[in-house]
Amino acid sequence: MGKTVKIWYLYHSGFAVELNGKLLVFDYYLNQAANNEPVLYNGKFSPEGFENKDVYFFASHRHFDHFNPIILRWAEQYPNIRLILSSDIKGYSPNRNIYMSEPEKKYAIDDLYIETYTSTDEGVAFLVKTDGVCLFHAGDLHWWHWEGEPDSFNKEMEQRFKEQIEKLASHKIDIAFIVVDPRQENYSTLGLDWFVKKVECSHIFPMHFSDDLSIMDSIRKFKESGCLKPEIHIINKRGQLFDIHIK
Task: Give the tens place of pLDDT for each residue, 203-220.
Answer: 999 999 999 999 999 999
Which residue has better confidence, 1 or 37?
Answer: 37
Check pLDDT > 80 for residue 228. Answer: no
Check pLDDT > 70 for residue 179. Answer: yes
Check pLDDT > 80 for residue 30. Answer: yes
- Cβ atoms 106, 114 nearer than 8 A: yes
Tell whether pTM > 0.85. yes
Task: Return the C-alpha torsion angle 113, 170, 153, 143, nearest 10.
Answer: -80
CA distances from 197 to 85, 140, 246 (A): 29, 19, 21
* Domain-wise residue ranges, the chain: 3-246
Separation CA 63–CA 69 (nearest Å): 11
Average pLDDT, the chain: 96
> 3-state DSSP call for residue 8?
strand
pLDDT in tens, 62-105: 999 999 999 999 999 999 999 999 999 999 998 999 999 999 99
Output the pLDDT for position 227. 59
Output the pLDDT for position 224. 86
Output the pLDDT for position 191. 97
Separation CA 111–CA 179 (nearest Å): 27
Strands 133-137 and 124-130, how do they pair? antiparallel
Share of the chain above pLDDT 70, in %: 98
**Number of other CB atoms surrounding residue 12 within 10 Å:** 19
- Determine the distance from the C-alpha atom of residue 118 to the mean position of all C-alpha atoms in its chain, rounded to a whole number: 14
As a whole number, mean pLDDT of residues 181-207 equals 96
Lowest mean pLDDT among 30-34, 120-124, 163-167, 222-226: 222-226
> 3-state DSSP call for residue 163?
helix
As a whole number, mean pLDDT of residues 187-197 equals 96
> 3-state DSSP call for residue 169?
coil
Output the pLDDT for position 229. 77
Which residue has better confidence, 83 or 226?
Answer: 83
| 152: β partners | none
- Cβ atoms 133, 163 nearer than 8 A: no
Q: Phi, psi (5° rounding) for residue 11?
A: 175, 140
Lowest mean pLDDT among 74-88, 104-118, 178-192, 220-234: 220-234
Give ∠ CA 143-10-131 in degrees, rounded to 5: 85
Separation CA 57–CA 45 (nearest Å): 11
Rg (CA), the chain: 17
Separation CA 45–CA 192 (nearest Å): 28
For the 3-246 domain, the top CATH level (class) is alpha beta
As a whole number, mean pLDDT of residues 150-169 equals 98
Output the pLDDT for position 12. 98
Share of the chain above pLDDT 90, in %: 94
